[in-house]
């Protein structure tokens, strides 16, 4: 299982890289770099003599194409193992990879890229964000299924996630609000912190600007709920205690990075770091839930 464990871990890293590069496509407003063509770029398999925006978008599409091949290899490897949970998990990874590609195509074909500021774009961006979280989350759970084949099974994992379904949905809502805040920052950047806060509450501001303040509010609320909930946890297995401490630290770090990003007027590097941190927090949240006890023991 060591070979597939390393491959799974590499896939997690590569997934975050592809997602971050996709964020750069949005930040640089290069989403329309290939025109309204998909999967071709300006009607070509390989664009020639095109502006930098085209190459940014094309390189992202190329990275996602490679990603799809790697996912297929992962599924084949998973089905060669006697691990039912891993097999089911790999199918979820494949499913969310396909839907991620289709959502990306929808954004391009409908022109919901570049400087578009429509509500339709906000809707699809939110769906895109949630789907990417479900994709990286599925990979993280597969990693757990590989590491603990005798302790953690798919059916028992479902029981645990039903117990923590409220927190799961809460974190996905925070992530979706984050995608709107990021889109707002790209389309309507602030040059002054105080002026930006004033625009957040101005009736004359675009709806994206008025809604972006919801993300830090929801993120802080989630952090408070987590810290409060962990204080009343009765489970005392070593794995759960270790992951609880790490999850609390990651939550605090994610909130801190978010505030630094906000106070520094959202520079591109911090935006991408914040997004990577969001996926890391989400994946670790799922691992934390997966290590909780069900009926008195870890499964």
pLDDT tens digits, 21-44: 999 999 998 887 887 778 778 778
- Same domain? For 271 and 176 the reply is yes
Range of the domain at 10: 1-150
For residue 114, what pLDDT is reported? 85
> 83-95 in b/e burial notation, b at 16+ Cβ within 10 A?
bebbbbbbebbbe
| Helix, coil or strand: residue 143 | helix
Lowest mean pLDDT among 84-88, 124-128, 160-164: 160-164
Say yes or no to pLDDT of 85 above 80: yes
Residues 126 and 139 in one domain: yes
Of 116, 134, 150, the position where a domain reaches its end is 150
- At CA 100, angle to CA 96 and CA 105, rounded to 5? 150
DSSP helix/strand/coil, 297? strand
pLDDT of residue 197: 86
Q: Please, are residues 143 and 9 in contact by the beta-carbon 8 Å criterion? A: yes
Q: What is the DSSP letter of 292?
A: S
Residue 146 and residue 287 in one domain:
no
Q: Are residues 291 and 159 in the same domain?
A: yes
Q: Tell me, what's the pLDDT at 190? A: 87
Predicted local distance difference test score (pLDDT) of residue 93: 98
Question: Hey, CA dihedral for 67, 41, 96, 223, is it positive or negative?
Answer: positive
pLDDT score recorded for residue 41: 84
Contacts of 87 (CB under 8 A, 6+ apart): 78, 79, 81
CA 38 to chain CA mean position, Å: 23
| Residue range 132-149, pLDDT digits in tens | 999 999 999 999 999 988
146 shares a domain with 215: no
pLDDT of residue 152: 66
Q: Is the pLDDT of residue 295 over 60?
A: no
Q: Are residues 80 and 24 in the same domain?
A: yes
Among residues 150, 172, 195, which one ends one of the domains? 150
pLDDT tens digits, residue range 40-62?
787 788 887 678 988 988 899 99
- pLDDT at site 32: 79
Residues 91 and 157 reside in one and the same domain: no
Tell me the CA end-to-end span of the chain in Å, nearest whole number: 19
Write the DSSP symbol of residue 41: B
Same domain, 60 and 116: yes
**Looking at the predicted structure, is the pLDDT value of residue 13 above 60?**
yes
In the block, which residue shows the tokens 């975050």?
16
Q: Is the peptide bond before 39 cis (omega within 30 degrees of 0)?
A: yes
Give yes or no for a cis peptide into 280 (omega within 30° of 0). no
Average pLDDT value for residue range 92-117:
92
Hunting for tokens 């759960």 — which residue is that?
A: 240
Count of domains observed in the chain: 2
**Tokens matching residue 64:** 């996602």
Range list of H helices, the chain = 2-27, 52-79, 84-109, 119-147, 154-163, 165-187, 193-200, 207-211, 214-230, 238-263, 268-290
90 and 232 share one domain: no
Q: What is 66-106 written as a DSSP string?
A: HHHHHHHHHHHHHHTSS-HHHHHHHHHHHHHHHHHHHHHHH
Q: Say if CB 15 and CB 135 are below 8 A apart.
A: yes
Distance from CA of residue 45 to its chain's centroid?
A: 28
Taking alpha carbons only, the member of 35, 16, 15 closest to residue 275 is 16
């Amino acid at each position: 299982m060591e070979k597939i464990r390393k491959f799974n871990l590499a896939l997690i890293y590569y997934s975050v890289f592809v997602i971050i590069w996709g964020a750069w496509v949005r930040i640089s407003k290069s989403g329309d770099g290939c025109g309204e063509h998909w999967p071709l770029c300006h009607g070509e398999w390989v664009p020639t003599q095109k502006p930098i925006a085209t190459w940014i978008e094309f390189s992202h599409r190329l990275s996602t194409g490679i990603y799809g091949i790697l996912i297929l290899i992962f599924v084949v490897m998973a089905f060669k193992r006697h691990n039912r949970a891993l097999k089911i998990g790999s199918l979820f990874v494949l499913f969310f990879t396909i839907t991620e590609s289709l959502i990306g195509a929808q954004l391009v074909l409908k022109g919901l890229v570049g400087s578009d500021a429509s509500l339709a774009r906000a809707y699809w961006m939110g769906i895109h964000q949630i789907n990417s979280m479900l994709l990286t989350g599925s990979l993280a759970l597969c990693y757990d299924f590989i590491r603990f084949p005798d302790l953690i099974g798919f059916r028992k994992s479902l029981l645990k996630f039903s117990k923590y379904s409220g927190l799961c949905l809460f974190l996905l809502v925070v992530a979706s609000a984050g995608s709107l805040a990021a889109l707002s920052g790209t389309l309507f950047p602030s040059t002054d912190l105080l002026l930006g806060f004033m625009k957040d509450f101005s009736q004359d501001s675009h709806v994206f600007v008025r809604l972006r303040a919801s993300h830090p509010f929801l993120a802080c609320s989630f952090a408070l709920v987590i810290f409060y909930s962990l204080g009343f946890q009765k489970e005392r297995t070593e794995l759960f205690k270790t992951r609880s401490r790490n999850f609390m630290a990651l939550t605090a770090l994610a909130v801190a990075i978010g505030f630094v990003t906000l106070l520094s007027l959202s520079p591109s590097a911090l935006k991408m770091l914040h997004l990577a941190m969001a996926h890391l927090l989400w994946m670790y949240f799922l691992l934390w839930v997966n290590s909780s006890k069900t009926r008195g023991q870890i499964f």
